[in-house]
Every structure is written in C-alpha cells, then in structure tokens.
Amino acid sequence: MGLLTIGAFAKASRLSPKALRLYDELGLLTPARVDPVTGYRLYAPEQLEQARTVAWLRRLGMPLARIQHVTTLEAGQAAREIRAFWAQVEADTAARRDLAAFLIDHLSRKDPAMTPTTGPLGIRYAALSDTGLVREINQDTAYAGPRLLAVADGCGSRGAPAGAAAVEALKRVEADDIPVGELLNTLEDVIEEAGQAVHDVAGHGSAPEGTATTLTAMLWTGSQLGLVHIGDSRAYLLRDGELAQITHDHTLVQSMVDEGRLSPEEAASHPQRSLLVRALGQGAGTAADMRLHDAHLGDRYLLCSDGLSTVVPTPDIHRVLSGTAEPEQAVRELVALANGSGGPDNVSCVIADVLELQA
C-alpha cells in the first residue's frame, strides 16, 4: 500500500485533518512525506497504530506534551505511564466529586423544603502520642479539640518542632467561626501558613533540607469535616461497622502500587515504604490533598501516624475501633498494640466520635 493522503489517513485513524496538522506542528505525528509542490501531507500505513494511540490518549484527556512522551516509550513503559496518569485522573475526579457533593448538600440545606433529620452534631475526642520502644525522641504531634483533630509526623534534625509548628498553624483557626462554604478556602490558606512555619523551623537547624513533616488534620464545622492531608499519616472512618482509609499515602511505594509496579502485599514489606514523595518542608512536594467530608451520627474517625499503620494490621485496628466505646481507652489500646509489635517508631492516634449534642 502506498502513502495515504491526509484525508484518507484522518478517516482511518479517527483523527481530523485539523488535528493531524496540529500534531505535525508539535512534532507529535510527523507525516512520512510532504509534497514539495502542493504541501500536502502524506502518511505511511504503518503510522496508523501511533495515530490511533494518540487518538485514544486524547479521549482520555491526556495533555499533548505527555502524549508526546508516551509515544517515545516502549510498550511496557508506555502502559505504566498511562496507568500513572489515570490514577491521578481518578484522584482528581474523587476530589471534584466530593466538592460537588458538598455543594449539593450545602445548597439543599438552604432549601426551606429540606428539614434536618437530626439535631446539631458534635464530637467526643481523645489524642495520645508515644515515643515507642526504639526511638529516643518523639517527633510526632497529636492534637484533639472541639473543632480540630491533627496528627503530624516530623522527620529530619528539626522534625519534632516542625510537626508541632504545622499543628500550631492549624490551631490558630480553631476558634474562628468558619462558614461551611469557606471551609476549603480556609484550609488552603492555613496549609500555606503551616508550610511557612515548617520552613521557618527548618531554617534554624543544622540540616534544613532534611526537615519536613506529614500532616493529616480535620477541621470540624458541626456537620462537615474539612480534611487536609500530606504525607503518610492516615485518616480512617468507621461507619456502620465498616472501616475505610480515607486518605492516600504520599510515598514512593504507594505511587509504585498506583502505577502497577508493586502489589499491595509487596508494598507492605518494601524497604522504602516510608520514603515520602510529598510532605510539608524543604526538598519535598508540598501540595496537600483537601476535601470535604459529610459527617454522620455515629461515625468514628481515627487519625494516626505511620507508627501505628505500618506495624498493626488493619483488622486489629478495626477490632479496637469497633469494640472500644470510649475514645480515651481506644487510643490507649491502639498505642499498646503498636508497642506490643515492637514499637519501632513513634506512634500517635487521635479518635473522634460524632454524636448528637444535647439541647
């Protein structure tokens, strides 16, 4: 078969002639030959597979620059790149879904036809942090108050004050009367302040580039929880007897799981499972996940550092959360489980129960 005209090639590849001209200009899909007299672009039949791949990736919404990179890779590497892209799309979609649900709920509450089914909600809470059995100092910070729940796990020469500074930055908005509609904006502002606080703390250390902290926190408004998360501390939700992790670890190993390069079972014992790809501090990605969470009567939330989640199996965490009524007793039991498993790291737990306030 000879060369195909741009019209014939467009029909076969499901790409428009306009798109083909653009991809030629970008160096993404160069014609096999350009007629020197007419300037017509001519394509070889063997270019159809690449063109169809470009068309499929565009349907996925992949940016052209990334498509150009993917088309230079061998098949296995290209598949991993597409998997990584789609994992990010799903994460972004989940965040937008949460925001849409929040907006629907927020506007519905303004509808006089909508009446509340329960009274005002509040939280009952407890926090506990422990050095563990191996580390000499505790670099964790755990805090629980009527409006704010937070866990930070510092690292580096100034890790302990870095984590404490990040939580203190959040505590400054705890007393504010924040409208539900301003919750995400408030969190966005305060996480910038927390990042600056960590930066300031790191600047006083001997190795500032190694100082950082994780931060997982919830700001309570009475019906909504604003969740901010960066690093590998975690938030869990126990609802109707089912336990779910509601944060995503920002670690190298988790990114390898997302890309299909590791199984969850392999990740659990990987020697680099604690290597962060995002944290508050210098030398790390600092983009935090933020979302709104609709609280239900009877919910139980757990925030914890990786000193719990990496050594205590999830079924054991579930057992304590579902079988221990008081938050104070539950945090003590979880810390005891971590130390009973060797206590290799600092361990911090914050538990909050959603309950109906008495009139």
Residues 159-211: pLDDT tens digits?
Answer: 999 999 999 999 988 877 777 777 888 888 899 999 999 999 987 655 556 78
Cα 220 to Cα 217: distance, rounded to the nearest angstrom: 10
Going by C-beta distance under 8 Å and a sequence separation of 6 or more, which residues neighbour residue 209? 202, 282, 283
Backbone phi, then psi, for 265, in 5-degree steps?
A: -65, -40
Q: How far is CA 14 from CA 46, 48, 122, in A?
A: 15, 10, 56
Cα 233 to Cα 302: distance, rounded to the nearest angstrom: 11
Could you write out the three-class secondary structure of 285-324?
ECCCEEEEEECCCCCEEEEECHHHHCCCCHHHHHHHHHHC
Q: How far is CA 252 from CA 94, 160, 263, 287, 321, in A?
A: 21, 23, 13, 15, 29
pLDDT at 114: 40
CA 292 from chain center: how many Å? Answer: 13
pLDDT at 115: 40
Residues 137 and 125: beta-carbon distance below 8 Å: no
Q: How far is CA 202 from CA 41, 199, 263, 282, 306, in A?
A: 58, 5, 35, 8, 22
pLDDT at 227: 93
pLDDT at 318: 98
Backbone phi, then psi, for 101, in 5-degree steps?
A: -60, -40
H helix runs in the chain, sequence order: 6-13, 17-25, 48-60, 64-70, 75-109, 159-171, 183-202, 252-258, 264-268, 306-309, 314-323, 327-340
pTM as predicted: 0.71
For the chain, list residues with pLDDT below 70: 1, 94-95, 98-99, 101-103, 105-119, 204-209, 271, 282-286, 359
Kindly report, residue by residue over 274-308, the tens digit of the pLDDT.
788 889 986 555 678 888 888 899 999 999 999 99
Q: How far is CA 22 from CA 37, 55, 323, 344, in A?
A: 21, 13, 62, 56
pLDDT at 99: 64
pLDDT at 206: 58
Helices (H) and strands (E) counted in the chain, each on its own, are 12, 15
Cα 90 to Cα 96: distance, rounded to the nearest angstrom: 10
Tokens of 270: 């990987």
Order of strands, sheet of 4-5, starting from the edge strand that comes earlier in the sequence: 4-5, 41-43, 33-34
Question: Considering just the CA atoms, what is the radius of gyration of the chain in Å?
Answer: 25
